[in-house]
Structure 1
Amino acid sequence: MRRTLKVEGMTCVNCARTIEIALKRKEGVRDVEVSFELGRVKVDFDENKVSEEDIARTIEELGYRVLEEEGGKAESYLLLFSGLSALLITALMFYPVPYGLYVQFLLSTLVQVFGGWKFYKGAYNSLRNGVAGMDVLVSLGTTGAYVYSLLTLLGFIPGSPFFETNTFLITFVRGGRFIEERAKKRALRLLKSMLTAQHSEVSVLEDGNEVRKNVRELMRGEVIVCRPGDLIPIDGVVVKGRGYVSEAVLTGEPEPILKEPGDRVISGSILEDGLLEIRVEASYESSYLSKINRMVESALSEKPRIQRIADTVSHYFVQAVVVVSAATFFLWVKLTGSMEMAVQFSLAVLVISCPCAMGIATPLAVVVGISKALSRGILIKKPSSLEVFPLINAIVFDKTGTLTEGRFQVVRYELRSSEALDIAYSMESFSNHPIAKAIRDFAKKNGARKVELVGCREVLGRGVECGEYFIGEYEDENIPEDVWKAVALRRNGEVLAVFYLKDTLRQEAKFVVSEMKKLGLTTILLSGDRTETTKFVAKELGFDSFFAEVKPEEKKEMIKGLQEEGLRVAMVGDGVNDAPALAQSDLSFAVPHGVDITKQVGDVVLLSGVAKLPESFRLGKKVNSKIKQNLVWAFLYNVVGIPVAAGLFYKYGVYLKPELAGLLMALSSVSVVANTILLQAGSGRD
């Protein structure tokens, strides 16, 4: 059984690792995928050995919450109490009142127990699972400040209590997380809405009445009712009504499309105006939206190389910080003999060094980038490809179906046998290639009928073979100039018919090639067509160079050859015949045909066509840039912050109190989130 749980409280990759390790240790759990970015845990388990309740209980024992609905009020109240307590304690420090120290102690204790409990649970469970995370540092820092203040209050050690320190620390850290969570929710709203569409309900017509059903319960042939604002959750055909449907979430195209009886609608579309009754054509699992969801979920489970490095650094960084903090304490005790100063500086080191900003720098940028791309009709299947975009300096385009409409038309023909049209029609029925479809449609239009043939098989990239018959490309010196492709039907080598075809260039093709050149890429056209046709297309669209008459199995070697010349190569193809070449390229783009995207190979799928290619490059480079900006900021923050917190510049009057260190630590995480959200604010052409 496979279940997806919504989990609250994960703040960094170490939280996700803690949950993953704990669940994998349970008997009966086969696989675990944890996404702290989406607040989601996916578990594949044997229900005979472990229950869903056991899994939820394990997660909650780690200090996190498994949610039924969106919460957050308790966190708001606790944050408000912590903040007011910190301010009151500070006021009592400046305006002494009878028993003021004991009031400070009481408030500090309440905040430490109730506000800090979350950090204690997180620290205990992460350490139990061999992971050192942010909660460990916060727990050590706040506990150290509280215990020191308590000991001075009781007179066990000299010095003055500073109960405001632990209360401010807890307030700032929880406040930072509070802001971070809400910023992340805002940034991920689109992606979450798509990934949770599988849990929505729809209105289904039964005996003239509307009943509510979960989208997963829908069966082929049932009729659902959609009203303005409704998400169309399933692929289907309009049987009644008229309405304007927006497919922007899927294709990036902003203009709504009028749908009438007989028109097909795609799951994930939104009905903006009108009322539609839609007959279900496929189950949710087979729907377009579900296929995209699975691809997105697969993408989110993959970590780019730079994120894996950051995760490892973050883990060991926590251990190093504890050592530095201890060294700071003993060094200041030895140099000054002041326990108070030593405690203040060592606590400041612990708190300011929390690697939360480093932990969220990459995954948040990746998930926001995927969300932004999806809203623009670009499906990034491999997050690791985001690291490759800036490295690409050459791009190869397949011609047919990518730069052309892929809708060939027979413009002239020669029949040298009376049965040739029937045989050609029957043979081309074994292929889905655009040329085969064109010949099949032409033959049917001209009265062709199917005949019985034996031993038929498609020879990939060549044609169709049926015993003694073969239909495939025809080469002849006398092919007219206005013809793009010539296909001949042969029987034991004898030509029975020749079909001359022509395709149409896509309207956006010239613009795309021009934009890619503006981005500094060398543009190359790769085609299996004859030299004259390929040369004409390359010149018409403005390509830097072209390769013609390249067989499908040779395309991969062509890409490899370009790479051996020192080029980092991206390729754009239709994702079927070009699969080997796409796999060989450093970065691959597939242009889907129709709504079946399950067969598409490639790192990126251009859902709304090749027109989105330039935008995908700009967005990919921006995401990569944001990742680097976030990591540089997180790194510099610690490089500068730790020495200052440790008191290296104290003699110059520059130092940090622990509570200020806590504020800066919280601000560092919020700044990373804010910087990442700018990805959503900008346009693809920025």
Structure 2
Amino acid sequence: MSAKIFAIRMVVALIAVLGFALHRWTGAAPLLWLGSVSYFICLAMYARSLFTALVQTRRVTADLLVVTVMVVSFLAKTPLSGALVAWFISLGLAISFFIIERTQRRIEALTRQKDKDVRVMRDGTFLEVPVEAVRPGDVAIVPQGEMIPVDGQIVEGASSVDESVITGEPFSVYRQAGDRVTSGSICLASQLKVRADKAGDKGFLYVMSRDIAASLKAKPGIHQRADKIVQFFICGVVLYAIGAFLFTGGLGARGILVRGGIPLEMVGRAVHFILDKTGTITRGKPRVTDVLSFGPPKMELLRLAASVESAFNHPVAGAVLAYAAANGVFPLTARETEYLPGIGVKAVAESREVILGSAESIAAQGMTLPADVSMDGRAVWIAVDGKTVGAVVIQDVLTDSAQGLADALRDLGAKSVVLATGDNDEVEARRVARRIGANRCQWGLKPEDKVCLVRELTRRGTTVMVGDGVNDALSLSQADVGISIGSNKADLAIKSSDIVIMREDASSLLAVVRSGRRLIRVIRQNYAWAIGFNLAGIALATAGVLSPWLAALFHHASSVLVVANSARLVKIPANGDL
């Protein structure tokens, strides 16, 4: 089904309504024939759709309601009532499908890696093939700035590689010939040649895409229940669609794309929120906050660190040089520079061998780390002439409005907020969790671990997953509502989401939650008004005060007030409003 089909039904039903109404007022026979022909065309459209649904999917849909009303109305010689119902329902469904299709088009426009061919060398021949056609042993050519399409081993070249969307680690890592890489990572510095060690359709990114597609086909049960409730309430489709249409239109103006009204309503009911860290709560951009010294003066260590990092081009190097410049420290010339296994660099500065790197890099060089060192962030250790003498403290920069985000979500009704990250640094993960006020913090999570967390919380209540990377995509599709933040993030995350926030701003997440709560309130008001109005109409019709066609008109007059009430949703609530 599509918005176009329901728009056609809406027009045909409207012609029937006008034909019958004008015939009642003027008595012109051609108008009666026009209304009757249009009436039976509309009835045939719904009957065919109902038959197809019963035969192919063995499901009873809202088409049964329309067909029943139209048949009964015709037999009762009140076809105007049946035409009005058909028009009203068609209008609601057309609006609903229009919202979904418009959002889908905009989301598809954000995805850039779709169906892109892979450039490979096979038996000495250069080929461009779909990723699923890649064979083990093919050598994929990965230009600077592009995504690595296969799982395999680098056979030529060396580059910084951004693996954040796969692992959750915020900073790029150095990879060279002999190192293994995973599809979905980004080659940052220079071209790489990667020999595939498995078929393209067995790679991490392809398998993840396939699992997500299967997950999205199986809609969560709460979505299905909501669909059924709306389908079989006589005015439910329209009452719901009017509010959702007006609200999602207002959100779209703020760069928030919503796949229909149900995800927005469910966000308003959510009690559990799972927040990814890197790229969602933090920007994945390092900032130096301090230099710790275990002997030498701090400024001397900072000068040595800046001297070494001046020879390299990666995010941590830029952060160290910026911090040094802010403190009036200028780097000296470094010699004999090289990358180290793990995350580390080495150079000779001031005739001393200086190493900067992770704990793994320091351990790989045969050195030990001091015990009981407390710091508020991630450590980049400094070793001079074979001895660990200090550390540069690195923090990942939080996004706008992330401070106290969990507290704000709890104020809006959330029972728990969990920070879930693939980042393996416990200290940094706990620091970010404290800054946002999360109830729990879990780090070092693989994609399947995040899925397990989503399922655990979903059993306890409506759960929202917020993320941005490939490692979040499967959990986004498994959650009751998946929300992706950032328009330039992983395509799979965007495709897996029910809501896409294009701005990297935590306040937009709060706006979505407030909007969901407000939508629920207005929809309840609409239902209450429609039920009350219709009960009054039934009572008057039963007492003989209203004729059948006036009763139908009385029934649909309530839609005017529903639209007026829903029009308030065009204005998006301010940060402090509900």
TM tier, smaller: 0.5 to 0.7
Pick from 48, 53, 58 the counterpart of residue 125 of structure 1: 48
Pick from 490, 498, 501 the counterpart of residue 606 of structure 1: 501
2: CA distance, partners of 1:117 / 1:583: 41
Report what 1:160 is aligned to: none
Pick from 267, 276, 281 the counterpart of residue 389 of structure 1: 267
**SS at 1:407 equivalent:** strand
Q: 1:643 to 1:618 in 2, by over 3 A?
A: same
Pick from 85, 93, 100 the counterpart of residue 23 of structure 2: 85
Q: 1:188 to 1:441 in 2, by over 3 A?
A: same
Report what 1:110 is aligned to: 33
Q: CA shift at 1:357, angstroms? A: 1.7
Q: 1:473 to 1:369 in 2, by over 3 A?
A: farther
Pick from 491, 509, 513 the counterpart of residue 617 of structure 1: 513
2: CA distance, partners of 1:474 / 1:610: 37
Q: 1:422 to 1:464 in 2, by over 3 A?
A: farther
1: CA distance, partners of 2:239 / 2:248: 15
2: CA distance, partners of 1:556 / 1:127: 40
CA deviation map 1:58-77 (0-9, x unaligned): xxxxxx58xxxxx97x9877
Q: How does 1:503-514 map to 2 (within 5 A)?
A: 503-504=396-397, 508-510=401-403, 512=405
Q: 1:424 to 1:585 in 2, by over 3 A?
A: farther
Q: Is the 8 A contact 2:458 2:479 kept in 1?
A: no
Larger-gyration structure (1/2): 1
Report what 2:549 is aligned to: 659
Report what 1:202 is aligned to: none
Q: 1:185 to 1:484 in 2, by over 3 A?
A: closer
**SS at 1:509 equivalent:** coil
1: CA distance, partners of 2:363 / 2:373: 26
CA deviation map 1:42-100 (0-9, x unaligned): xxxxxxxxxxxxxxxxxxxxxx58xxxxx97x9877765543321124xxxxxxxxxxx
CA deviation map 1:524-573 (0-9, x unaligned): 685876769956983xx58376759x544698599689959968765655
**SS at 2:41 equivalent:** helix
Q: CA shift at 1:617, angstroms? A: 1.0
1: CA distance, partners of 2:273 / 2:229: 35
Q: 1:118 to 1:436 in 2, by over 3 A?
A: farther
Q: Is the 8 A contact 2:18 2:35 kept in 1?
A: no
Report what 1:543 is aligned to: 437
Q: Which runs of 5+ in 1 are unaligned?
A: 11-38, 40-63, 66-70, 90-102, 147-164, 199-296, 318-354
Q: Does 1:515 align with 2:408?
A: yes
**SS at 1:408 equivalent:** strand
**SS at 1:500 equivalent:** strand
Q: 1:312 to 1:563 in 2, by over 3 A?
A: closer
Q: Is the 8 A contact 1:173 1:665 kept in 2?
A: no
CA deviation map 1:394-429 (0-9, x unaligned): 65656665555543233548899x999899799996
Q: Is the 8 A contact 2:457 2:463 kept in 1?
A: yes
Report what 2:132 is aligned to: none
- Please report the RMSD computed on the Cα atoms of aligned residues, expressed in angstroms: 6.3
**SS at 1:83 equivalent:** helix
Q: Aligned partner of 2:379: which letter?
A: A
CA deviation map 1:626-650 (0-9, x unaligned): 5555666677778x489759x8xx5
CA deviation map 1:481-513 (0-9, x unaligned): 6x532123789x975984332455555334645
Q: Is the 8 A contact 1:400 1:406 kept in 2?
A: yes
Report what 1:409 is aligned to: 287
Q: How does 1:121-520 map to 2 (within 5 A)?
A: 121-126=44-49, 128-129=51-52, 130=54, 132-146=63-77, 165-166=78-79, 168-169=80-81, 172-173=84-85, 176=88, 194=106, 305=221, 308-309=224-225, 312=228, 356-362=234-240, 365-366=243-244, 369-380=247-258, 385-386=263-264, 388-393=266-271, 395=273, 402-404=280-282, 406-410=284-288, 411-412=290-291, 438=319, 469=364, 476-478=371-373, 484-488=377-381, 495=388, 498-504=391-397, 508-510=401-403, 512=405, 515-520=408-413
Q: Is the 8 A contact 2:465 2:476 kept in 1?
A: yes
Aligned residues: 435
Q: Aligned partner of 2:378: which letter?
A: K
Q: Is the 8 A contact 1:463 1:470 kept in 2?
A: no
CA deviation map 1:350-392 (0-9, x unaligned): xxxxx55234455665565544433323344697644543444
Q: How does 1:55-74 map to 2 (within 5 A)?
A: 64=8
2: CA distance, partners of 1:178 / 1:578: 37
Q: CA shift at 1:610, angstroms? A: 0.7
Superposition TM-score, scaled by structure 2 size: 0.52
Q: CA shift at 1:111, angstroms? A: 4.0
2: CA distance, partners of 1:9 / 1:617: 32
2: CA distance, partners of 1:360 / 1:369: 14
Q: Is the 8 A contact 2:270 2:462 kept in 1?
A: yes
Once the two structures are aligned, what percentage of the paired residues are identical? 21
Q: CA shift at 1:117, angstroms? A: 3.5
1: CA distance, partners of 2:215 / 2:521: 19
Q: CA shift at 1:618, angstroms? A: 0.8
Q: Aligned partner of 2:40: which letter?
A: W
Q: Aligned partner of 1:499: which letter?
A: V
2: CA distance, partners of 1:532 / 1:143: 69
